[in-house]
Amino acid sequence: MPGPRPAPPRLAPPRADRSGPPRLIPKPPPAQRRSGGAEPQVEIQRVAATPAQALEHADDAVDRLLDAGRNPGDILVLTVGEAHPWQQHELSFGEERYWAQLAEGGDVFYADVALTRPVRREVVVLVVNGGTAARAAEAHAKALGHTTALLVVCGDAGPVATGAAGTAPGRSISA
């Protein structure tokens, strides 16, 4: 049916097995440029997860980001292995509609890390749910190129602590 459709329901209801208050990923203050016009630093947060757990932990991270006040259009979720179920769902409406959502920028966008379209979002959630260690390391570098403020890595990808210019050392958060 052509035309706008109502927002689809969330993939899964909030988990009832969480104890205590939800852990929030705080929204940072607006990025401040350092003297000399250098790029603002990108914060890297790591969530320990096996490839089988990575999607669930990524969904939890997205929920925490939204609960902390992030705009859904500021979040990009990239998968290293199999496509996220939400991406598969959106692609079922056709590629044209899927890519139009990226251009509209009004909601969380799910894509394969091999994404070739130019896109930068404030937050990138990298889901290491498969692939080789080399592909995961490549994905980490690519995800850094898509974010302007925060990279949340769910799984094992990239260096444990980066010392490259423009990035902050990673810190682990439990999921």
Domains of the chain: 43-173 (3.40.50)
Question: In b/e form, how buried is each residue of 75-109, taking b as 16+ CB within 10 angstroms?
Answer: bbbbbbbebbebbeebeeeeeeebeebbeeeebbb
Instruction: Look up residue 47 and give its DSSP letter.
Output: E
Confidence band (pLDDT; 50, 70, 90) for 86? very high
Tens-digit pLDDT profile for residues 129-140:
998 999 999 999
Query: How much is the average pLDDT of 27-40?
Result: 46
Q: Nearest 5°: CA angle at 160, between 63 and 55?
A: 30
Helix H or strand E encompassing 46: strand 43-47
Least confident of 24-33, 48-57, 83-92: 24-33
Closest CA to 83 of 123, 45, 43, 55: 55
Task: List % helix, strand, coil for the chain (3-state, nearest 5).
Answer: 30, 20, 50
**pLDDT (tens digit per residue) in 35-49:** 444 556 899 999 999
Q: Cα angle vertex 87, ends 149, 116, to 5°?
A: 60
- pLDDT digit string, tens, across residues 64-74: 999 999 999 99
